[in-house]
Amino acid sequence: FFGGVFGILVIAALAPLLADFALLLEPADYFAVMLLGLVAASVVSSSGTLRGVMMVTLGVLLGTIGVDVNSGATRFTGGVQDLRDGINLVVVAMGLFGVSEAMFSARGASASYATEKVSWQRFLPMRGEWLRCLGPALRGSLIGSFFGTLPGTGQTVASSIGYAVEKRVSPNRANFGKGAIEGVVVPESANNAAAQTAFIPTLTLGIPGSTTMALMIGALMIHGVTPGPRLISDHPALFWGLIVSFLFGNLFLLVLNIPLIGIWVRLLRIPHYFLYPTIVVLISIGVYSLDHSLFDVWAMLGFGLLGYGLRLYRYEPAPLLIGFILGPMMEEYLRRAMLLSRGDPMIFLQRPGSAVMIAISVLLLVLTALPGLKRLVKSIG
């Protein structure tokens, strides 16, 4: 709760400033920022940089399916009329993260998870622990707020770095891994602060800060709202309404989760042979309701099989979704930049903003590739 509220305050303070700054950016700058987001999503992928790059590239390629807006040419549809408008974001997301998750979880499922009674009193900190939590919560919130604003990093990176930092600076670090409350407070506050501040690049630049934000962009665009620098000025009621809803949402989560923890744990006792088929059926109904198309349902199941196969071979599907979202937008800004420069690609290096972003992207790739190159040199030598 502390991390979430801290992140909300950061959004309210920084988002309008970043939106004003974003109005100064040109197409070349936007392309470079999106490139950095894709590179960051690849680098921080838990499956490794190379596999992350492969997933991002696959997502970008899937995003090119359909009619080209500029030329009107049909691309990569294979003659299938249902693909002329491209693949719906919901179809891809529900397949990769809904169906594949149900399949993967059912693979190693037991009868049920919950085996003991859980009461909310057991989860409340003891009297002396409240003061010990304040410093770690503040440090975790600061770390989470910083990494949440970086496109492509997400909550996992914020939590991991927050835990690593606290393990170095905490006076109680000897008890980390043995039940120290600081080891729980820091990654959780970092996680929730990052979840909130990920909205900053999402709403002000139109660049998803995480996989969840990629879905949020899709939801906004479905309702005719385009995230970007003009969102706050064109839709102030929507933006500030979201901020207030975040605050109430965090409060309601606090009120609901602690007293009702026993009920939520009992839900885990539902047998898996009822739970997972129900999940797949509900997802299929939701996808069908989009355009009343059975093709979308079959495509969603196909992406579910793809996601299941990727997870079996330790390929993280999240970078694929980020590439799918950013790919068409990158193509649009690339074309605009090339038109403005009359075909001169040096515009990406002549603009200070885009040059810095491209340099950071290259540096990230080089730094992550260095350990592998060193091992390769040693093996040859």
Could you read off the pLDDT of 26-60 as tens digits, one per residue? 888 888 888 887 887 777 666 777 888 898 899 99
Residue 273: per-residue pLDDT: 78
Of 21, 22, 5, 43, the C-alpha closest to 197 is 5
The mean predicted confidence, pLDDT, of the chain is 82
Q: Identify the three-state secondary structure at position 66.
A: strand
pLDDT at 327 over 90: no
Using the Cα atoms of residue 136, residue 142, residue 143 and residue 145 in order, give the sign of their dihedral.
positive
For the chain, the domain total comes to 1
Of 50, 156, 150, the C-alpha closest to 371 is 50
Residue 196: per-residue pLDDT: 87
Residue 34: per-residue pLDDT: 83
> How many percent of the chain have pLDDT more than 70?
91
Burial of 147 (0-12, 13-18, 19+ CB in 10 A): buried
Across 32-46, 81-95, 105-119, 202-216, the highest mean pLDDT is recorded for: 81-95
Q: In which band, very low, low, confident or very high, does the pLDDT at 295 lie, cut at 50, 70 and 90?
A: very high
Structural domain harbouring 286: 2-380
Residue 110: per-residue pLDDT: 53
Q: What is the pLDDT of residues 111-162, one digit of tens each?
A: 555 556 666 666 677 777 777 788 888 888 888 888 777 765 567 667 767 7
| Both structure tokens of 91 | 């179809």
Q: CA 163 to CA 147: how far, in whole Å?
A: 13
Residue 161: per-residue pLDDT: 72
Average pLDDT over residues 309-334: 85
